[in-house]
């Protein structure tokens, strides 16, 4: 049937090309063929995509809250995925559990406490701040602080040494090349030279 229709459309299109008022009819039938083809395409595309969309199963607000909470929770099977994005079986079960708790009117902290009571702090991507997690929370900042202090200390020592070296060079110059203009020592530099020379002896 569709073929017949298509060929008749084509015939009318070619026929109208020869007739006097042909241009308009040709355009019209071309649009018709195009839309018909598109309709066919849509039909077949539908047939290929035979799988139904996964039902949301719940009110959108439950779904939205579930996703919001689950994004903060770790899937225990894949460990580097959130509960919201994991396809693991257990993650699906836990999402169902979270949906249930939302429907029971539990608050977000209550739901998190519920899961922590069963699976431990590990389920939280953002663990609670408490003595056992202090190292986790403040450790990096402490390490950074220690690093900065060490760097500062190293730079200071190096500067001090450079100053001492310059003073010693000047002293040697004064000793070996008295014809050069003498650079007067400050009391501080003299002290430095004395201490360094004493250490080096």
Distance CA 75, CA 124 (A): 9
Q: Does 84 bind other proteins (CB under 8 A)?
A: no
Question: Which is closer to other proteins, CB of 40 or CB of 77?
Answer: 77
Of the residues 66, 69, 76, 171, which one makes contact with other proteins according to CB under 8 A: 76
> Per the structure block, which two tokens stand in for 10?
């084509």
Q: Is the Cβ of residue 67 or residue 124 nearer to other proteins in the bound state? A: 124
Least distance from other proteins to the Cβ atom of residue 201, Å: 18
Q: Tell me which residues in 105-124 interact with other proteins (CB under 8 A).
A: 116-122
- Minimum Å gap between C-beta 15 and other proteins is 50
Asked if 89 is part of the footprint of other proteins (rule: CB under 8 A), the reply reads yes
85 near other proteins, rule: CB under 8 A: no
> Cβ 27 to other proteins, closest distance in Å?
47
Q: Does 97 bind other proteins (CB under 8 A)?
A: yes
Q: Is residue 200 at the binding interface for other proteins, with CB under 8 A as the rule?
A: no
Smallest distance from the beta carbon of 94 to other proteins, in angstroms?
7
From the CB of residue 66, how many other CB atoms can be counted at a distance below 10 Å? Answer: 23
The nearer residue to other proteins, 132 or 186, going by C-beta atoms, is: 132
Provide the binding-site residues for other proteins, judged by CB under 8 A: 76-77, 79, 89-90, 93-94, 97, 116-122
């Amino acid at each position: 049937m569709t073929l017949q229709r298509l060929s008749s459309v084509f015939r009318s299109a070619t026929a109208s090309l020869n007739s006097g008022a042909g241009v308009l009819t040709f355009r019209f039938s071309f649009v018709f063929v195009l839309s018909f083809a598109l309709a066919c395409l849509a039909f077949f595309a539908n047939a290929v995509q035979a799988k139904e969309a996964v039902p949301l199963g719940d009110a959108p607000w439950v779904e939205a809250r579930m996703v919001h909470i689950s994004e903060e929770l770790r899937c225990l099977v894949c460990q580097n995925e959130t509960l919201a994005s994991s396809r693991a079986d257990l993650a699906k079960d836990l999402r169902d559990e979270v949906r249930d708790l939302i429907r029971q009117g539990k608050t977000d902290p209550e739901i998190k406490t519920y899961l922590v009571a069963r699976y431990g702090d590990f389920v939280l991507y953002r663990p609670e701040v408490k003595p056992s997690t202090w190292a986790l929370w403040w450790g990096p900042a402490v390490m950074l602080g220690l690093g900065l202090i060490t760097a500062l200390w190293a730079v200071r020592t190096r500067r001090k040494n450079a100053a001492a070296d310059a003073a010693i060079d000047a002293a040697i110059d004064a000793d070996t090349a008295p014809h050069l203009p003498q650079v007067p020592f400050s009391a501080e530099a003299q002290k430095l030279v004395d201490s360094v020379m004493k250490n080096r002896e």
